[in-house]
Amino acid sequence: MNLVRTAMLLAFMTALFMAVGFVIGGRAGMMIALVLAAGMNFFSYWNSDKMVLRMYNAQEVDERSAPEYYGIVRDLAKNAGLPMPRVYIIDNAQPNAFATGRNPENAAVAASTGLLHALTYDEVAGVMAHELAHVQYRDTLTMTLTATLAGAISMLGNFAFFFGGNRENNNPLGFIGTLAAMIVAPLAAMLVQMAISRTREYSADRRGAEICGNPLSLASALAKIANFAHQVPNVEAERNPATAHMFIINPLSGERMDNLFSTHPATENRIAALQRLAEEIGTVSTPPVRAGNQTRKSRSVPSTGWGRGGSEPPKGPWS
């Protein structure tokens, strides 16, 4: 059902893009919009992963430089039947992670230093399994295409302001059509993009739990990451809010409901779904904490050798 819903939303966004082109320039405008969308998607298909990794100054690691982290990804990729992705670390105190790449053969996963320091071994495994689920379902490509289409629709909406209203012969809907192209279409595109993102997160949670074998570890990780996201800013994400949908938890703000303007489902809803899955498969583990309650009140993200200028030795599973 999630796959069908995603396909329907993508089809709607493509139709919306062509409709805006039609409003601006009639049939010719619609064809130009279609060609433009194809060109932008082609560019994003080949270059989006490099752009995002460079945007967050991600550093690639291997089995020698990050043996436990790399080993977790290697073992999970084997469990999922996936090729080994490239593995990156982002020097950022906010616990978070994302996946990118046009297909499983050219995928990359990235985790922040804050995530490696704040979470346990099993929780990190749950998070990386979630990211590998995105790779397996090709969500990285889907979300790249939706982000590109949403941006293009907004751009065409701006064009409509300058060209749509002055060409009545090419714009059969007149002023109303121009107004819709300027305001309604970009808003609708943004809502569709966010709806697709929320749909894919639920699917990746379930598949990630299957890959790592413990839904409650992923649930516990989500709760901890959500807690830290309220307290630790992600400066790079604030500068590039269009990339927020890529992360396992929204790095910009903590949404508390599955509202239309959220890029992620509510963490509480995701945890509840994982708990139900754990009951279905009979997983026995310590119940995760609830999102919104601080897990370690006396401790913030530790300063270690992973961070900038850290002097204390690493603690926990990453020592």
**pLDDT tens figures, 239-272:** 877 677 788 988 875 444 445 456 678 888 899 9
Kindly indicate the confidence band of residue 124, based on its pLDDT and cuts at 50, 70 and 90: very high
Residue 196 reports pLDDT greater than 70: yes
- Which one of the listed residues 68, 123, 131, 201 is annotated catalytic? 131
Q: What integer pLDDT is reported at residue 181 of this predicted model? A: 65
Pairing of strands 86-90, 97-100: unpaired
**60 catalytic, yes or no?**
no
Q: Domains in the chain, ordered, with CATH? A: 45-149+175-282 (3.30.2010.10)
pTM of the model: 0.72
260 vs 63, residue with greater confidence: 63
